[in-house]
Structure 1
Amino acid sequence: MGLIQRSLLAVMLAAGVCTSAAAGNCPLHYVDGRMPEIQNSRMQAATTELCYDVFGVMHSGITRTPLWSAEHLTADHLESAKTLSRENSFHPETRLPASSRAELSDYARSGYDRGHMAPNGDMPDRNSQHQSFTLANMVPQDGENNRHLWAGIEAVVRKQASKEGELYVLTGPAFLGSDLRKIGNVLVPSHLYKVVYSPRQRAGVAFFVENRATSDYALLSIAQLEAKIGINLMPSLSAAQKETVLRLPNVKLRKSKGGK
């Protein structure tokens, strides 16, 4: 099992559900149109692919969070996003059965933020902004982490995408270790990751952070992150490309009230 949390996998097996998502329905959000491949079959239990205008989600009905959210992040989208004020519209994902989805009540008074994986600040119009507030795109995230370190990581990624013209981005939770907890029916991740790949430079990098109040983050190669979480995140890339690390500016902690 490696670092994948054993009790989580036991719950998946006990669930007896294996509605794995079919072949990718939203290929534009992925490098070469290829969706990540879950390497541990137990993690495929109760997964559903959800496609939105400018991002895609692989949702787990066991954790009731995304396993990842995927974006083809472009400079044009970011330029449009700058003109939008934030309008909070958190909502459950009604395309998912009630038995598999997060509800607003799960997060209420939990002490955790509803942390965007595909950020509101990347959304180019009101419709995609509303879509980003689905709970299928959220994980329980430490509030200090979300508002400061994570907001800084999102800002660095947006700056790089504006500079290069486009990036492919995968963002998700990791459930590692032996001390996981739930809020309501939603599993709280131990870590968060954000993978950035530049087609122009043919290089990528992964931010990897603990889900707690911290200013520390690790920069990993794509290959290193894949080994940690048990997912082939960008299956069209060669082994050499997954080891080639993209250089990004240092992350500065934001003073904002929340991640975008």
Structure 2
Amino acid sequence: MKLFLPLLSSFLLTTALYSAPTQCEGLYYTNEAPDILNPKLQIKTKELCYSGFAIMHSGLSRTPLWAAEHLTKEGLRHKSKRTNDFHPEEQLSTDERAELADYARSGYDRGHLAPAADMGNKQAQHECFTLANMVPQNSENNRGIWSAIEGATRHLTKQKGSLYVITGVIFNGSQVKRIGGRVLVPTKLYKAIYDPARQAGAAYIVTNAPSNDYEVLSIAELEKQSGVRLFPKMSQSAKEDAMDLPDPQGYHGNSYNNTTNKDIMYLIEKLLKRMF
């Protein structure tokens, strides 16, 4: 019995660590959310479901850990006017959510994880501007290589017909920056892509810095770096083999949510800050 109790405790701990129930129907592959493997990331997490995407939010970082989307060729045919109505998330307590004041004069963009250009109707547009979908992102990175990666992912969706996408962040090191004294700044951002027809996947990853550099990783390698098991039903052999992803260079301006519009908004914001 003394031997059995530690084994039982170990089993229960493992089960809690690897279970990932979701209330967000149709947004994850086989309706199974990623598993958080790093216990430090599990604290104060809350799943948020929206019409076009799902969020796993962290009350410690006051950012999403990831956003999940099921992109389809048909869905991307629908366009909706970009709203830019950034707002705090009322589903979160005030001590665990980001506020607009946290980003003001921070020097960082409010970087979407689930992009506005993926949203096909007015409701989804409004929802994607919640600060629960935002991370502090270097402006050059956001408007440059990251915008291109978003465009390349939409291009790939139109080629393949259906993709499951998980866009997330990584916080590396003991000296992670904060804005507003509250919101953690991710050191890296990634976009993991799974093609259910081919049962294959891969991921783009970038450093949150003024650079156009990016890498393509296998899902297995990204899981090691992120501390998150991204596609629970994906075979380990498929995770080890990175499928080909399009070179994002050349996919700027893939839709209305392009670099030019982002630059215009950035200049307007800078002007308003100087005026007030």
How does the TM-score come out when normalised to structure 2?
A: 0.83
Q: Contact conserved, 1:80 with 1:124, CA < 8 A, in 2? A: yes
Amino acid of the residue matched to residue 206 of structure 1? A
SS of structure 1 residue aligned to 2:262: coil
Instruction: Write the deviation string for residues 170-220 of structure 1: whole angstroms up to 9, x where unpaired.
Output: 001110123311001100000000001111121111111000111110100
How far residue 66 of structure 1 moved from its aligned partner, in angstroms, is 0.4
**Counterpart position of 1:5:** none
Amino acid of the residue matched to residue 133 of structure 2? N
Q: Is it true that 1:140 corresponds to 2:136 in the alignment?
A: yes
Q: Contact conserved, 2:47 with 2:56, CA < 8 A, in 1? A: yes
Q: Distance in 1 between matches of 2:114 and 2:89?
A: 15
Choose between structure 1 and 2 for higher RCO, CA contacts under 8 A separated by at least 6 residues.
1
Amino acid of the residue matched to residue 64 of structure 1? R
Note the aligned Cα RMSD (angstroms): 1.5
**Counterpart position of 2:273:** none
Amino acid of the residue matched to residue 204 of structure 1? G
Q: What percent identity do the matched residue pairs reach?
A: 48
Q: Contact conserved, 2:86 with 2:129, CA < 8 A, in 1? A: yes
How far residue 71 of structure 1 moved from its aligned partner, in angstroms, is 0.2
How far residue 53 of structure 1 moved from its aligned partner, in angstroms, is 0.4
**Counterpart position of 1:213:** 210
Q: Distance in 1 between matches of 2:219 and 2:20?
A: 24
Q: Distance in 2 between matches of 1:153 and 1:108?
A: 26
**Counterpart position of 1:258:** 262
Instruction: Write the deviation string for residues 90-116 of structure 1: whole angstroms up to 9, x where unpaired.
Output: 000000000100000000010000000
Amino acid of the residue matched to residue 61 of structure 1? G
1:68 to 62, 66, 69: 66
Q: Is it true that 1:32 corresponds to 2:30 in the alignment?
A: yes
Q: Contact conserved, 1:208 with 1:220, CA < 8 A, in 2? A: yes
Instruction: Write the deviation string for residues 36-90 of structure 1: whole angstroms up to 9, x where unpaired.
Output: 0001222111000000001000000000000000000111111002xx2322110
**Counterpart position of 1:42:** 40
Q: Distance in 1 between matches of 2:207 and 2:142?
A: 11
Amino acid of the residue matched to residue 47 of structure 1? T
**Counterpart position of 1:196:** 193
Q: Distance in 2 between matches of 1:235 and 1:23?
A: 11
Amino acid of the residue matched to residue 58 of structure 1? M
How does the TM-score come out when normalised to structure 1?
A: 0.88
Q: Is it true that 1:180 corresponds to 2:184 in the alignment?
A: no
Amino acid of the residue matched to residue 221 of structure 1? S
SS of structure 2 residue aligned to 1:154: helix
Q: Distance in 2 between matches of 1:108 and 1:63?
A: 17
**Counterpart position of 1:56:** 54
Unmatched runs of 5 consecutive residues or more in structure 2 = 1-18, 253-258, 264-276
Q: Contact conserved, 1:147 with 1:257, CA < 8 A, in 2? A: no
Q: Distance in 1 between matches of 2:56 and 2:29?
A: 15
Instruction: Write the deviation string for residues 98-135 of structure 1: whole angstroms up to 9, x where unpaired.
Output: 01000000000100000000000000101001000000
Q: Distance in 1 between matches of 2:174 and 2:41?
A: 17
Alignment of 1:58-137 (within 5 A): 58-81=56-79, 84-137=80-133
